[in-house]
């Protein structure tokens, strides 16, 4: 039985080594399958890249099946990243003064507390400085709506005081 466990462990490590090589997508790419024989029956292992691996252990009376889903390997790209919506809200955490920078001419801002209650609403220009120092300490969320009213951006602000 230990020999079967050893062979099964080697096979699993081999499968992960093959799947982890390179940076190509292995979806729908069959790697193979194997049967390991023993005096108690056979172990059937079926494995493919990006698909479930299933282990079947058969001792002539019972069949044990166990499987898991492999992670799909795929590339990541930043090509086409839209920088028109880059908004800076800083410093965070703040002691009261927040600065908001964005690429549009104007925008509307709403600050809500952790319960969703609106505590401030105001208009922004490209480089706005706003004071929230009179609010109690806590977590707040600022929603920025661009000038065309097409994009809502949300940022968390932490207000601290000494």
Mean of the pLDDT values across residues 8-17? 57
Q: What are the structure tokens assigned to 12, written together?
A: 């699993």
What domains can be seen in the chain, in order of their start residue?
Answer: 2-69 (no CATH), 83-159 (2.60.40.3080)
CA distance 79 to 48: 30
* Nearest by Cα to 53 from 39, 43, 61, 38: 43
Per-residue pLDDT tens over the stretch 101-111: 888 889 999 99
Per-residue pLDDT tens over the stretch 104-146: 889 999 999 999 999 999 999 988 999 999 999 999 999 998 8
CB 153 within 8 A of CB 104: no
Per-residue pLDDT tens over the stretch 26-78: 333 334 444 444 444 555 555 455 445 555 556 666 655 555 555 555 556 65
Q: CA dist 41 to 38, 58, 60, 110, 114, Å?
A: 6, 5, 6, 68, 61
Residue 83: pLDDT over 70: no
CA distance 82 to 72: 26
CA distance 13 to 30: 17
Give the up-direction half-sphere exposure of residue 143: CA atoms within 13 A in the CB hemisphere.
16
Residue 63 has a CB neighbour count (10 Å cut-off) of 11
CB 126 within 8 A of CB 102: yes
CA distance 151 to 131: 24
The pLDDT of residue 159 is: 94
């Amino acid at each position: 039985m230990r020999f079967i466990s050893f062979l099964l462990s080697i096979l699993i490590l081999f499968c992960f080594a093959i799947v982890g090589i390179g940076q190509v997508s292995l979806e729908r790419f069959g790697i193979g399958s194997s049967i390991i024989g023993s005096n108690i029956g056979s172990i059937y292992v079926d494995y493919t890249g990006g698909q479930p691996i299933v282990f079947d252990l058969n001792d002539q009376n019972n069949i044990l099946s166990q499987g898991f889903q492999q992670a799909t390997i795929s590339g990541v790209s930043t090509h086409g990243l839209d920088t028109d919506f880059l908004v800076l809200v800083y410093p965070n955490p703040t002691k009261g003064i927040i600065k908001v920078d964005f690429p549009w001419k104007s925008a509307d801002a709403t600050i809500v507390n952790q319960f969703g209650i609106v505590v401030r609403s105001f208009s922004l220009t490209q480089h706005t400085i706003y004071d929230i120092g009179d609010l109690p300490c806590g977590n707040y969320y600022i929603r920025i709506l661009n000038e065309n009213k097409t994009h809502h951006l949300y940022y968390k602000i932490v207000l601290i005081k000494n």
